[in-house]
Amino acid sequence: MAAPRAALHLHRMFLAAAVAVAAGGAAGAKVPAMFVFGDSTADVGNNDYLPWSIAARADFPHNGVDFPGGSRPTGRFSNGLIGVDFLAIAMGFGSSPPPYLSLMADINITEGTRNRTMAAAAAYMIGANFASGGSGLLDSTGSTISMTQQIEYFSDLKDQMSARLSTDSVSALLSKSVFLISSGANDAFDFLSGNRSLDSTAIQQFSEAMISTYDSHIKTLYHLGARKFAVINVPLIGCCPYLRSQNPTGECVETLNQLAKSLNDGIRDLFSNLSSEMQGMKYSIASAYQVVYSLIQNPHAAGLEEVKSACCGGGRFNAESGCTPSSRYCSDRSKYLFWDLLHPTQATSKFAGLAFYDGAAQFVSPISIKQLVEA
C-alpha cells in the first residue's frame, strides 16, 4: 500500500474508532473496550510471539481442536475458547480482544508508526489482551511477560491512543471499559515448589507479599485510567490433574488449596479497601475457586462426567505430561472439566464465564460482572 493510501486508511480507522467511542464502544457492545491481564487462564495468543525457548505456549495441536470456525491452535491453553472469550461475548463483543503482541508484531523502522496506530485504533474499538501464560503477580514468577510488563504495555498503548485522539476521549473510554485480571496461580505453584514443608508463617509472608504486589498493580492501573475491575481469583489449584498425578493418593493437594484460599481472602479484603480509598473505582471478584469446587462436587450441573483426569496428555490422570501433538486426547471434550494437566476445557470455561457474568453470589461478588458493566 502506498504511503498516502496507508495514511488515509489509518485516518479512516480512527474516524471509525472515534464514532465507536461516541456510541459507547463497538456495535452492540455494552462497554467501550475490555483490557485483559494475567496468565494462561486469560492468554489468547501473546506467548505465540515470544521466543521458541519459552515453554509456556499452546500454538500447536491438539490445542484449539474445537475452536469455533475451524480446528486450529490459537495460543489458548484449551481445546477451544477460554473464559475471557465468553465474558467478551457476554459483554456484546463479537470476539475477545486480540493479543497485544499480535497488534505490534513485526514492527520495523518503516512500519512501526503504522502498526502502533493500528494497535491504538483496535484498542479503541474492542480493547487488547496483555495476558501471558506462565506469568504471575510477582515479577519473579515465570519467564514470560510479567504483570509489570503487561501494565507497561498498556501504558504504552494508552500513550499511542492519546497521541491520536484527545486525552479526554481516551480517559472517558478507559473509565467505562472493563479491566479484567486473572492471575496468582503460578505464583502459588512456584512458592510450593520452593517450599515443600509449608508452615503458617511462610504462607502468611507469601500471602502478604502477593497482596502488597497486587495492591501496587491495581493502583498503577487506576492512575492510568482504569475504574472498573473484573478480578478472577485463584482457582482450586490443588485439584488440577497434574497435582493429583503427583499425589500418591490421587486426591487433591489440600496444602495448595489452602494457600489459594488464603490468597483469595487477601484479594477480597484488598479490593474492599481499595474501593473505599479510590474515587470511582468499582469491582467484581469472580471465584474460579468456587466454580471448580462446585463442578467437582456436582459435575452434572455443567454436563460433565470426568473431573479428575485431563482430556489431553499422558501418564497417570493423563496429566504427568502436557498436551502435545503426539498426546492422546478424549473423544468428547464436553464431558471433561480439564483439558490438559492444568487448564479447563471450553465446556468448563463457558460454564465459568456465564457464572462470572451473571451468576449466583457464590460465584461472583460483591456485584456480578454484568452489574459492573452496567454501573
> Rounded to whole angstroms, how far apart are CA atoms 68 and 92?
17
Q: Which of 39, 40, 102, 284 is catalytic?
A: 40
> Rounded to whole angstroms, how far apart are CA atoms 296 and 287?
14
Q: Which of 187, 309, 340, 368 is catalytic?
A: 340
H-state helical runs in 142-184? 147-164, 167-176
Kindly calculate the radius of gyration of the chain based on its CA atoms and give it in whole angstroms.
Answer: 20
Which whole-number Å values give the CA distances from 289 to 208, 220, 254, 278, 297, in the listed order?
A: 19, 26, 13, 27, 12
Q: Is the dihedral of CA 301, 303, 305, 310 positive or negative?
A: negative
Cell readout for 337 is 472439566
**DSSP-based three-state secondary structure for 12:** helix
Pairing of strands 306-310, 312-313: unpaired
The closest alpha carbon to 88, from 357, 360, 282, 343, belongs to 357
Longest dimension (CA), the chain: 67
Quick check: is 340 catalytic? yes
Decide if 230 contacts 178 (C-beta within 8 A).
yes
Quick check: is 62 catalytic? no
Decide if 97 contacts 88 (C-beta within 8 A).
yes
Residues near 369 by beta carbon (within 8 Å), at least 6 away in sequence = 87, 90, 178, 230, 284, 286, 356, 357, 358
The closest alpha carbon to 210, from 131, 141, 274, belongs to 141
> Rounded to whole angstroms, how far apart are CA atoms 120 and 122?
5
Quick check: is 365 catalytic? no
Q: Which of 183, 334, 343, 368 is catalytic?
A: 343
Cell readout for 124 is 479503541
Catalytically active residues are: 40, 340, 343
